[in-house]
Structure 1
Amino acid sequence: MNFSFARRHRLTKTDEYSSVFGFRRAIRGQWLMLHFQPRPVGFDSARLGLVVGKKLLKRAVDRNRVKRIVREQFRLRRANLPAYDLVVRLHARPQTLAGQALAADFLHLLGRLRRPGGKREEK
């Protein structure tokens, strides 16, 4: 099994991000928000995009830590995810940047994404 995080598993263009945000489906966790959009027929793997703004985390090292934690969890579970374009956005400032807590929040969001009928629309 290939657990790499290749370019084909990333959202890279502004239009791709805009498309996911424009679909207006999201799931909110404690610190993270997961925006999602199903991929067109013929694509079988999920792609990930990350948004961590300076407004919530001033230091670049903190923003990069959040992105690294989410990227790693996605990379390990990508093979079991449905074919969605996912954008993970930090919506609340964590008290501490505990990696396990952020990873657990992201995994909780992925669990809610996969649950049939468990998709809720939040804005």
Structure 2
Amino acid sequence: MTLYKLKKTDEFSSVFSFRKRFYGEWLFANIMPNQQNHHRYGLVVSKKVAKLAVRRNYMKRVLRELLRTQASVTVNGYDVVLQVRKAFRHNDFQAVQRDLTLLLTRLKKASPVS
């Protein structure tokens, strides 16, 4: 599965300013409809969540891998920015995976394109 990314600051800003959110225990998703027939993802892990860059990078790697493997629960026609609400480590992997699956399922149900 190809993972389309939000890369530019303007792309992230437009999703944040749209102000549509879904909350989970570990993550929350900011969403905005796009004019494409595929989804685009952006990841945000703030310094408030994890001070060390090593931990922030670990969380982003885990989320990228989970998104890549969640091909069956893709959200077409949306830009999605996932933000980490609280820091997680290796032993929290299953809980984060469940949380992401629930978020993507809720987004898919809300999606008029799917």
TM-score of the aligned structures, taking structure 1 as reference length: 0.79
Cα separation, 2, equivalents of 1:103 and 1:65: 14
In structure 2, the gaps of 5 or more residues are none
Aligned length: 109
Cα separation, 1, equivalents of 2:83 and 2:60: 10
| Cα deviation, residue 116, structure 1 | 4.1
* Alignment match, 1:28: 23
* Alignment match, 1:64: 57
User: Which deviations, in whole Å up to 9, do the C-alpha atoms of 1:33-71 show, x marking residues without a partner?
Assistant: 10001112xx11100101101111112221112111111
Counterpart of 1:20 in structure 2: which amino acid?
V
| Cα deviation, residue 92, structure 1 | 2.6
RMSD of equivalent CA atoms? 1.9
Cα separation, 2, equivalents of 1:19 and 1:65: 26
Larger helix fraction of residues: 2
What percent of counterpart residues are identical?
39
Q: Which runs of 4+ in 1 moved over 6 A?
A: none
TM-score of the aligned structures, taking structure 2 as reference length: 0.84
